[in-house]
Amino acid sequence: MKDKSSLKSLYHCVYKLTYHLVLMTKYRRNVITPDMLNDLKDVFTKVCKLWDCELIEFNGENDHVHLLLEAHPNLKLSDFVNNLKTVSSRLIRKMYKSHINKFYRKPVFWHRSYCIVSTGGAPLKVIKKYIEQQDIA
């Protein structure tokens, strides 16, 4: 790893874990407004802090959002993502009730599925080659 200053430590480990999370609105409806996007960023930032994580970057479009997150190795990703979705959905529906009711009859906001991809570090080819070249001698 090139930049050791970016590594964090926890008990008996050193780590740098980043994830790219994509959340889509239910039925990919174009419901997200610029104001809503700003409020979503605030909600996600607060939830991340509660989970001892960091929201590094955030943006989105009318029907989906992208989050770049930094997390710790003890984090159970599925629980964290479900909490992010639940809290943000509840708060956004409350803040923008009349707008969201134009798109949904039921109290929904996010699609139940999501995409999360690990990021950072060297490309897989480089890591694979490095491991292959290890020698005991």
Q: What's residue 137's pLDDT?
A: 60
Q: Could you write out the DSSP letters of every residue in 22-63?
A: EEEEGGG-----HHHHHHHHHHHHHHHHHTT-EEEEEEEETT
Please determine, for residue 90, whether its predicted confidence score (pLDDT) is greater than 60: yes
Please determine, for residue 4, whether its predicted confidence score (pLDDT) is greater than 60: no
Say which residues have a Cβ less than 8 Å from residue 52's Cβ, sequence separation at least 6. Answer: 72, 75
At residue 128, what are phi and psi to the nearest 5 degrees? -60, -45
Which residues are annotated as catalytic?
130
The verdict on pTM exceeding 0.95 is: no
Counting residues of the chain whose pLDDT is more than 90, the rounded percentage is 76
Q: Is 95 exposed, middle or buried (0-12, 13-18, 19+ CB in 10 A)?
A: middle
What pLDDT band is residue 2 in, cutting at 50, 70 and 90?
Answer: very low
Counting residues of the chain whose pLDDT is more than 70, the rounded percentage is 95
For 11-132, the fitting CATH number among 3.30.70.1290, 3.40.50.300, 2.40.30.10, 1.20.1070.10 is: 3.30.70.1290
Q: What's residue 1's pLDDT?
A: 34
Please determine, for residue 95, whether its predicted confidence score (pLDDT) is greater than 60: yes
Let me know: does 75 contact 18? Beta carbons within 8 Å: no
